[in-house]
Structure formats: C-alpha cells, structure tokens
Structure 1
Amino acid sequence: MRKLVKKIIVKSIGLYINLLSYVFPEKATRLAYRLFSEPREGRFRPEEVPEMLKEAMADMITHDDMIFQTYTWKGNDQIILLVHGWESNTSRWENFLPYLKKSGSTIIALDAPAHGLSSGTEFNIPEYAEFVNILVEKYKPQMMVGHSLGGATCLYFLEHYQHPSVEKVVILGAPSELQTILNNFRNMLSLNTKVFRMMEKYLFQHFKIRAADFSGKKFASRLKIKGLVAHDEEDTIVDFEEGKQIAEAWKSAIFIRTKGLGHSLHNRELYQKIYNFLFDKSSVA
C-alpha cells in the first residue's frame, strides 16, 4: 500500500511538471532538475556525527562558495581516498575501514556536496570530481575506492584530471551511462519529451557535457592504471550490466561478480579481495 501511495505521488509530481512546461518551461526545467539533483538522505547535523567519524581527524575545506567535509585516519605515506555515493556519507565505509587500517595506510574520505556535513543542496558529478581533485592535489593518494555515483565520479575524475599519483582504483556498484540515469528518472516521473529535452539542454549549458558522452565505460576504456570493478547480480539500484560494461571496457581491470549483496556490497569476503588487490596480497579471484 505504501509503495502504491508513493508511486501515485511521484506520478502526480511528474504530471504537474509536464503541465507546467507548457506555461512556464524554464520553471518546469528547474523543478525537474532540482528533483533530479537534490538528495533527500545522507545529511546529518554536527551533533549527529557517527562515532566512527569522531575517531578521525576532521577538516573542512573551502572552495569557491562551497565547504566540504573531510576525514583522515592517519597512517603511513601510502594514501587511500574513499568516495561515497548518492544519499550517503563517509560513514558508509565503517565496515570497510578495518581492512584498510590493517595495511597501515593513511585513509582519507570526503562528504559529497549536499551530503554529510558538506554544504550545498545539489549533487552533481563534475562538482564532486572537483572536490576529489582538490584532495588528490593536496594529498596525492596512490589508491581510490568509489561506491555507486562515487565510483562514477572516480571514473569522471580520472578522465578529466588524469593525476599521475593514482595507481589503483576500485569501483563498486557504479552506473556507467548518464543517459540511463536520466531515462530512469524520466520513466519514474513519466516526464514528457519537452521536459526531458529541456533537462538535457540544461545539463549541457551548466556542465558542458552531453548525456550521451558521459559514459563510465568510455572513461574506463582509456585508463591504463590497474582497476577492480565489483557489481552484484541482484543490485536493484544500478543494473548489473552497467558494472559489467565498465569492467569489459577497462583493459587492466579485474571484475568481481557477486550475488546477494545488493547495491551496498558490504561483505567480508569482498572486502578481503579488495584489500588483496590494493596491497598485492593473495589472489583476488
């Protein structure tokens, strides 16, 4: 019953945007983009910071008119950067941190725009990648791990910034095609062609990239660094084929297919395989 009510509400919002597009097209476009880009979960207030984050050295970095939150677990000169996904925050790495800590490495993570304690109301990959680049320039990590849209952000970052310090990258449950994400959003709200085309135009005007060109598999196909891609067959958020396409295009990547882990991919065996890949231990097969 709850799912049915939610579906009716979502379709009603889509109908309103469709009708609005014939009278106030720019307003309809802004509303559609706002629904597409504003996370509804993943934030918390300073007094709500999870215990695992209180153990880290916290720092806020200012860039233009944005402030983004970072966390550092200090170790040796080997540095790992963690990049979380949509409607999440740095705390999503809680179960994975013990595996990374046993390597003795320094671990750095950040809250995405409009997530955790970072400022902003909008999430978009180009801006997130800009934040990532600031940290990479500052700390020069040799390894990166990204989950979901955080993984897509890592691929975008590697394509557009090409920083030489990064040697290994792990991509977990990431989407490949922006066009697919847009199509799914359109279908969810039943947006008409007029609104959908205006949204695509809006994205191009603001980020100078066409949806068809925003492709994780294309970005991955040009990578020469070592990669590990993991995706679950039963992922209901990002289709398994998306991860498979990224892995197949990435010539120097290992692909791990899981089953029953869903989109989160929280699993001790998988974490051990990632650890083995990052630190050249035993087999990751």
Structure 2
Amino acid sequence: MKAFFMQKNLKFILTKSIGLYINLLSYIMPDKALLMAYGYFSEPRDGRLLPDNLPEILQEATKETISHDHHYFQTYTWQGNENKILLIHGWESNAARWEKLIRLLIKSGSTIIAIDAPAHGLSSGKEFNIPTYAEFINVFSKIHQPKFIIGHSMGGVACAYYQHNYKQDHLEKMILLGSPSDFNILMQNYVNLLGLNSKVYQLIKTYIKQRYNVNTDEFTSQNFLKGATISGIIAHDIHDDVVAFSEAKKIASAWKNAQFIETQNLGHSMHDDKLNQKIYQFLFEA
C-alpha cells in the first residue's frame, strides 16, 4: 500500500514538473512550449499493437492496410453478408477492444469491420486527432459503405464529426458509447492535469485553429448532431470517471432521434453483455 501511494505521488510530482517547465518555457520560447504541450496532448502512450503478436480476435480477421495522404490505417474484417458494421475505438485503445461485441454481431451474419485509429494499433503516425480520424472513416466508407457505425469515447466524437462533415447516404444508424461532447473540456482537463497556464492553453487553441481550421469553442458533438436525422443510441455510465455523464446529456439534448441509455457500474469501457444485447436489438430488430 505504501509503495502504491509513493508511486502515485511520484507520478503527480512528475506531471506537475512537466507543466511547470512548459509554463516557464512559454515566456521565453513559446513555439517550443507549444510543441511540447501539444505533443503531450495528442500523442498516445498506449494502444499500439505488434504485427507478430496480435490479439486472437484480430488474428481471425482479414487485414487490409489503406493508404491516404501520407498516412496508412489498418482495418480488420470479419466477412459476412452485404450488411456492414464499422467499429471505431477511442484514445489509447485499438480494434481489439471490440472483441465481446464482435462475437455477438457476427451472429447476425453481417460483415464487421474495425479500424485502428491514427497512432494506434497498426496504423501510422504519432499524433491522434479527430479531423484525421474522421477522414480515415470517410475514405474507408466511400469504398465499403457501412450501414451502421459504432464509436467508443473519442471514437464516438470522430463518428459524430464524420456524419456531420461528410454526410454519407449509406449510413442508417449510429451508436455512441461513453463519448464526450465538448473539445474544450478535454483540453481544460489536460491543462488542469499538468497545471498549465492560460498562455499555453491559448497557444494550443490557436494552433488547432490554424492547422485544422477548427474553432475549439464550437467543436462539440452536441453541435455536430444538432438536427441530425440518423437514428441512434447514446449510452453512458453514470459512474464514468473518464468522461462525465453530463457530456452524454449534452449530446442527447441535440440529437433528438437517438435513444438515451443510462448504465450503472460499467465505468468508461462499457464492456457489458446486457448493453451489447440492446445494441444488437437496436441494429437488427428495431
């Protein structure tokens, strides 16, 4: 127990020390401070896969690597009929996180496809960002035209942004699991974690605006789904300690054509047989 608290305190001190260094750097070398701050914010430290040591569920799939705009992204397909379901994972994860749901969805006879996000799994890159992820989804969807799409956490944000920005007619239903709404809240959580000052916060916001033409004040799933006619599910656990339950309520207030499912004691991952059954029923029996 003592060792656990010592490790926790050491991690806290290290995190705050990095933040202090970036804060000091912002006054003398703002460009370098921005590079460090944005790097810590956008570069995942977990979720990578080794080609020779894939989880069993991914070994069972047909693998395809798709190249686009100096990037490549990995896809995994469990072949079935012409009805296609696309699975989009979140931050510091990979396509294997869907194993339980994949096992169930296969029973429908559908073709199931999962993608590794930028800088995750076997996909290329060091940086994760929503516009690039949504672009991956769009490139893939133009080829394969999935009927249903399911996103978890930041993958849900990518799904919401994709349907808002690209509006593909083939998409009939969308499911968001444990997904945040407001990008600024994600940024503020990061700023608070490192103890960054307002100067660094504004540097990051300005950089994102210039690079992606995105105003972070307006970059919300709530905005992306306002007036959306696609039917769907928003599922969120009241005990989610990663993404606040209130974020799901924001999305639900805008997306009138979605069912809201409140769960308990599933945490952020939302791996649950009962929830998966509700997803199955919504996709194939509703």
TM-score bucket (shorter structure): over 0.9
SS state of the match for residue 212, structure 1? coil
User: Which stretches of structure 1, 4 residues or longer, exceed 2 Å deviation after superposition?
Assistant: none
Q: Which of residues 21, 30, 54 is equivalent to 2:35?
A: 30
Structure 1 residue 166 and structure 2 residue 171: aligned?
A: yes
2:271 paired residue number: 266
2:226 paired residue number: 221
CA displacement 1:107-162 (0-9 Å, x = unmatched):
11110000000010000000000000011100111100000000010000011001
C-alpha separation between the residues in 1 aligned to 2:144 and 2:19? 44
CA displacement 1:229-263 (0-9 Å, x = unmatched):
00000000000110121122111000000000000
Structure 1 residue 150 and structure 2 residue 149: aligned?
A: no
Q: Which of residues 196, 214, 237 is equivalent to 1:191?
A: 196
Q: Please state how far the C-alpha of 1:280 moved relative to its aligned partner.
A: 1.9
CA displacement 1:77-116 (0-9 Å, x = unmatched):
1110000000000000001112111110001111000000
Q: Which of residues 34, 41, 50 is equivalent to 2:46?
A: 41
SS state of the match for residue 9, structure 1? helix
Q: Which of residues 247, 251, 272 is equivalent to 1:246?
A: 251
Number of residue pairs aligned between Structure 1 and Structure 2: 281
Q: How does 1:83-94 map to 2 (within 5 A)?
A: 83-94=88-99
Q: Which amino acid aligns with 2:207?
A: Y
1:100 paired residue number: 105
SS state of the match for residue 191, structure 2? helix
Q: Please state how far the C-alpha of 1:51 moved relative to its aligned partner.
A: 1.0
State the TM-score, normalized to the length of structure 2: 0.97
C-alpha separation between the residues in 2 aligned to 1:223 and 1:48? 41
Q: Please state how far the C-alpha of 1:222 moved relative to its aligned partner.
A: 2.5
C-alpha separation between the residues in 1 aligned to 2:166 and 2:72? 21
C-alpha RMSD of the superposition: 0.7
1:20 paired residue number: 25
Q: Structure 1 stretch 36-45 or stretch 218-227: which is displaced more?
A: 218-227
Q: Structure 1 stretch 218-227 or stretch 26-35: which is displaced more?
A: 218-227
Structure 1 residue 82 and structure 2 residue 87: aligned?
A: yes
Q: How does 1:105-144 map to 2 (within 5 A)?
A: 105-144=110-149
C-alpha separation between the residues in 2 aligned to 1:280 and 1:229? 17
Q: Where does structure 2 lack aligned partners over 5 or more consecutive residues?
A: none
Q: Structure 1 stretch 266-275 or stretch 216-225: which is displaced more?
A: 216-225
SS state of the match for residue 266, structure 2? coil
Q: Where does structure 1 lack aligned partners over 5 or more consecutive residues?
A: none
SS state of the match for residue 12, structure 2? helix
C-alpha separation between the residues in 2 aligned to 1:250 and 1:192? 35
SS state of the match for residue 75, structure 2? strand
CA displacement 1:34-54 (0-9 Å, x = unmatched):
000000000021112111101
Q: Please state how far the C-alpha of 1:225 moved relative to its aligned partner.
A: 0.6
Percent sequence identity is: 51
C-alpha separation between the residues in 2 aligned to 1:26 and 1:242? 32
1:58 paired residue number: 63
State the TM-score, normalized to the length of structure 1: 0.97
1:68 paired residue number: 73
Q: Please state how far the C-alpha of 1:221 moved relative to its aligned partner.
A: 1.4
Q: Please state how far the C-alpha of 1:4 moved relative to its aligned partner.
A: 1.6
C-alpha separation between the residues in 2 aligned to 1:84 and 1:93? 8
C-alpha separation between the residues in 2 aligned to 1:97 and 1:79? 12
